Structure 1
Amino acid sequence: MEIGTRYGAITMPADLGERVQQQLAQADRAGPVVHHPRARRWTFITGPARPESLTKSVAAALFRLYATVACPGAQVVLPSADDERTGYRTWVHSPDSSDTIPPLESVIEALLQH
């Protein structure tokens, strides 16, 4: 999946991702999340990044939390059937037609509260 005008993504440690996912679910803002078990990281699929939302202070806070925002033009690899079977890459929350894609800013806000 290409990051750009339609989609964004943010990756963080799995333990932090669990807490962020719970908070987003409580606010009815949960969207698709990919788990990378070997790296122990979660990638949240979001709406696109708006340049004004990634200030220096926000970037510094994300850096301290080991969270990274995917740059426009980057590729996020989604779990395939083989990935799911082998556990290489799995869905924490798979996308379906009723899902909304949360704005990147909502995920960052939830992340910074932890």
Structure 2
Amino acid sequence: MDLPESEVRGTNAATDPAPTRTEPSAPVVGDTPRTRVECYRSVCHLPAVLQPGTGRIGFTAGMVWAVAMTAEVGQMVKAELDARRQGGGPIITTPRTATWTFLVPSDIPATMIAAEAVLYRSRRVVVFGNGDFVALPSPADQGSEYRGWITAAHSVFRPSGRAVLYAVHAVLDAQRQPVW
């Protein structure tokens, strides 16, 4: 799948302005939790479900997983993926917890997850795998502290979970390197 130029261009976290959400800031007529679930299911092939009574949307990880990290690390990971032309989205932001969540296919082997235990213990990176619940942005989420899109889900494309974890390592290793 060819991504739009805005999706594959690298960004520089030090010089580029903070990323903005790709969804409209004002409610769109006809965008309801039910229509959003239908879009997630039909266009993005996400197993989205509507939580009764709340209007919240999410899915149980199975064929689609998620990798969550701090927003600071997430911004650098997105730039790394973009620079490698591996796609940096879809990415969910949760400002209340200052986290970014990358939606990925379930291609992370159990051995790799076990090897990443140090990252998980430090709470920098969390993999949501089989059976874990992943929340998605919903029109019912009002206010800037709730979930939104950094890079909206608009197709079946998701970056490899392995590529996301390799990018995490690349940016964290770069932070540890002394600058002379």
Flag whether TM exceeds 0.5 (same fold): yes
Q: Is the 8 A contact 1:3 1:74 kept in 2?
A: yes
Partner Cα separation in structure 2 for residue 65 and residue 38 of structure 1: 16
Q: Does 1:46 align with 2:108?
A: no
TM-score of the pair, normalised by structure 1? 0.86
Deviation for aligned residue 1:65: 5.6
Q: Deviations over 1:47-105 (max 9, x none)?
A: 1132132233x22134336211113111101001232x4221110100112x6211111
Report sequence identity in percent: 26
Partner Cα separation in structure 2 for residue 19 and residue 100 of structure 1: 20
Q: Does 1:108 align with 2:165?
A: yes
What amino acid maps onto 2:143 in structure 1? T
Structure label with greater radius of gyration: 2
Unmatched runs of 5 consecutive residues or more in structure 1: none
Q: CA RMSD in A?
A: 1.6
Question: Which one scores higher on RCO, CA 8 angstroms, separation ≥ 6?
Answer: 1
Partner Cα separation in structure 1 for residue 120 and residue 82 of structure 2: 21
What amino acid maps onto 1:34 in structure 2? I
Give the secondary structure class of the aligned counterpart of 2:134.
Answer: coil
Give the secondary structure class of the aligned counterpart of 1:9.
Answer: strand
Higher helix share: 1
TM-score of the pair, normalised by structure 2? 0.56
Give the secondary structure class of the aligned counterpart of 1:19.
Answer: helix
Q: Does 1:18 align with 2:82?
A: no
**Number of equivalenced pairs:** 110
Q: Is the 8 A contact 1:10 1:43 kept in 2?
A: yes
Most deviating of 63-72 and 30-39: 63-72
